[in-house]
Amino acid sequence: MTSSGEAAGTRPRSAPVGPVDSSVVPRYAGIATFARLPRLDEVGRADVAVVGIPFDSGVSYRPGARFAPAAVREASRLLRPYHPALDVSPFAAVQVADAGDIAVNPFDIGQAVATVEQEVGELAATGASVVTVGGDHTLSLPLLRAAARLHGPVALLHFDAHLDTWDTYFGEPYTHGTPFRRAVEEGLLDTEALSHIGTRGPLYGKADLDEDQRLGFGIVTAADVMRRGVDEIVEQVRERIGDRPLYVSVDIDVLDPAHAPGTGTPEAGGLTSRELLEILRGLNGTRIVGADVVEVAPAYDHADITSVAASHVAYDLVSLLALRRAAS
């Protein structure tokens, strides 16, 4: 594989291996990897690794997110190597690779959580910054465990229609609606720097908000983004995050169903794709240490709208991490 504009055999040994050249191999041809990047086993190491986790046993409504990694990889065929908004060619700046999928037990959530924590922890221990494509939001808990093991308690920027700080569902403590309560209880998060962005819709009761505040979260609703604008929201969250190590978790249902119909628990009144991407780009220069994009359910998608949005979100997260790694 050669990066765009490079002839095979002319790439210096130390240069990153880039995506397949779309002027030689059409975008619709070949094996789908994220952004047509090399597999991790082809390059041996990565500064930024994209990993899929096909798991949705923690959902409370519509299943199907187990098929997201494959769908997002297919949608990512259209991504190109230069990011003009961030002025970076992420795949040339550092080595980015597709680390494949982590196979987890679909019948045992506890075992699945333990597998993700171990395997992502091992990947991160090689020096790779990890961007995960889920899968449902249960996965953020083991991903945060792996991040906290390396960096200590991390700041969290959580894009979602929902709080995901409930205690249990049907008596079960590990579901896609509970990961951030468990993360606070386990000391994985810096409770001075926790923010939800894009929340909206009905709740079980006002106590949900009271408990969320008690855990340390600040809330920027979808209506706040609409009324106050992206620049003001970015300024607010950057001030809250400061120079702390930051984990970014993006539930694709933060987007309005018009922009992301393919998700398990859609809520009206969400962010546009443009708003989400611009807020992410406003994080340039922060200490991002890891990220995930979850809750894409391709069976409910229309013309791959949701998968395309998720692929661009993952691309922006990869680009932000590439900028940080290149500068360090």
DSSP secondary structure, 124-180, as one string: HHTT-EEEEEES-GGGHHHHHHHHHHHHSSEEEEEE-SS----S-BTTBS-STTSHH
| Higher local confidence (pLDDT), 7 or 112 | 112
% of the chain surpassing 90 pLDDT = 95
Phi-psi region at 156: left, alpha or beta (left = phi > 0; alpha = psi -120 to 50): beta
* pLDDT at position 239 over 60: yes
* pLDDT at position 179 over 70: yes
* pLDDT at position 7 over 80: no
Say whether 307 sits in a helix, a strand or coil.
Answer: helix
Express each pLDDT in 281-317 by its tens digit: 999 999 999 999 999 999 999 999 999 999 999 999 9
The response to whether 21 counts as a known ligand-binding position is no
**SS3 track for 104-129:** CCCCCHHHHHHHHHHHHHHHHHCCCE
pLDDT, mean of residues 223-252: 98
pLDDT, mean of residues 226-245: 98
pTM of the model: 0.95
The response to whether 253 counts as a known ligand-binding position is yes
* pLDDT at position 12 over 90: no
Express each pLDDT in 135-158 by its tens digit: 999 999 999 999 999 999 999 999
* pLDDT at position 88 over 70: yes
Strand locations in 232-286 (E): 245-251
pLDDT, mean of residues 218-226: 98
Q: Integer distance in angstroms from the first to the last C-alpha of the chain?
A: 27
pLDDT, mean of residues 234-245: 98
Residue 48 pairs in a beta bridge with 96, 129
What confidence score (pLDDT) does residue 14 get?
Answer: 72
pLDDT, mean of residues 178-190: 98
What confidence score (pLDDT) does residue 118 get?
Answer: 98
The response to whether 256 counts as a known ligand-binding position is no
CA distance 154 to 227: 29
* pLDDT at position 220 over 90: yes
The response to whether 164 counts as a known ligand-binding position is yes
Q: Minimal CA–CA distance to 318: which of 19, 121, 35?
A: 35
Q: Which two tokens stand for residue 20?
A: 């397949």
What confidence score (pLDDT) does residue 8 get?
Answer: 35
pLDDT, mean of residues 172-196: 98
What confidence score (pLDDT) does residue 9 get?
Answer: 38
CA distance 214 to 226: 26
The class level of CATH for 34-327 reads alpha beta
The response to whether 243 counts as a known ligand-binding position is no
pLDDT, mean of residues 225-243: 98
CA distance 92 to 326: 10
H or E stretch at 52? strand 48-53
Q: Minimal CA–CA distance to 227: which of 255, 286, 189, 269?
A: 269
Express each pLDDT in 62-73 by its tens digit: 999 999 999 999
What confidence score (pLDDT) does residue 5 get?
Answer: 39
Instruction: Find out whether the peptide bond into 127 is cis, omega within 30 degrees of 0.
Output: no
Q: For 204-272, where are the alpha helices, taking DSSP H only?
A: 206-215, 222-228, 230-241
Express each pLDDT in 19-58 by its tens digit: 999 999 999 999 999 999 999 999 999 999 999 999 999 9
